[in-house]
Amino acid sequence: MEIKHNLLIRADASPTIGTGHVMRCLALAQAWLQAGGQVTLLMGTAAPKLEARLQAEGIQVTHLSVPLGTEEDAEQTIAKAKALGATWVVVDGYHFGADYQRVIKNAGLRLLFIDDYGHAEHYWADLVLNQNVYAHEGLYAKRESYTKLLLGTQYTLLRKEFWPWQGWQRQIPTVAQKVLVTLGGADPDNVTLKVIQALQQVKVKGLEAVVVVGGSNPHYQQLQAAV
């Protein structure tokens, strides 16, 4: 199916917020671009390294000039969507609540809300996507009658670099020999270092650990010294 419409994504990234909201939206953006559409991501705080990645993918990045998650935020998002001719807006972030969704919907836009734990008091979105294994309908009891729920791992947003691995059958040994450590794109509390220190105490012959550090992690030099 060829998509000719613009898609507007509203998500943020920072050392505090992390990069996960934007990165999973990137997976959706990649699929939209592959189908022939165009994607714009609207952000608050600038994240230069991440923005460079998005722009390399063919995604336009623009910035807000108001506090995140506010009604003013919603109004600027609406204005951007209308300027682009976008009929769908994707919103991902814990600072977007019920009022934010309502304002977007009242503007006549279609809304996909990406969620993790049912944090909003009410859901006005057309679609609510929760890709977590624990997702269940009870998290969204307070929603509009038209709101459709997309729940569970069958809706996992995977970026295109992972597409070739679909269907891969993992071999799991009785005693783990390889450990992957990844605490997201930022890890402001430096939990990664604690995991490294804990693994250094594990006495398993041939144990191999790979540590993946995100581009927004402020502790890179310390982690590099620890290994």
- What CATH number does residue 143 fall under? 3.40.50.11190
> Model confidence over 51-89: pLDDT tens digits?
999 999 999 999 998 999 999 999 999 999 999 999 999
Does residue 84 sit in the same domain as residue 121? yes
Query: Are β-strands 38-43 and 60-63 bridged in parallel, bridged antiparallel, or unpaired?
Result: parallel
- Which residues constitute the domain of residue 110? 6-163
> How far is C-alpha 77 from the chain's CA centre?
18
> Model confidence over 122-135: pLDDT tens digits?
999 999 999 999 99
pTM value?
A: 0.86
Cα of first residue to Cα of last residue in the chain, in angstroms, is: 48
Does residue 38 sit in the same domain as residue 122? yes
Does residue 62 sit in the same domain as residue 153? yes
Does residue 109 sit in the same domain as residue 179? no
Does residue 219 sit in the same domain as residue 120? no
Q: Which of 140, 163, 186 is at the close of a domain?
A: 163
Does residue 122 sit in the same domain as residue 200? no
Number of structural domains in the chain: 2
Q: Tokens for 120? A: 């909003």
Task: Answer whether residue 10 is part of any domain.
Answer: yes
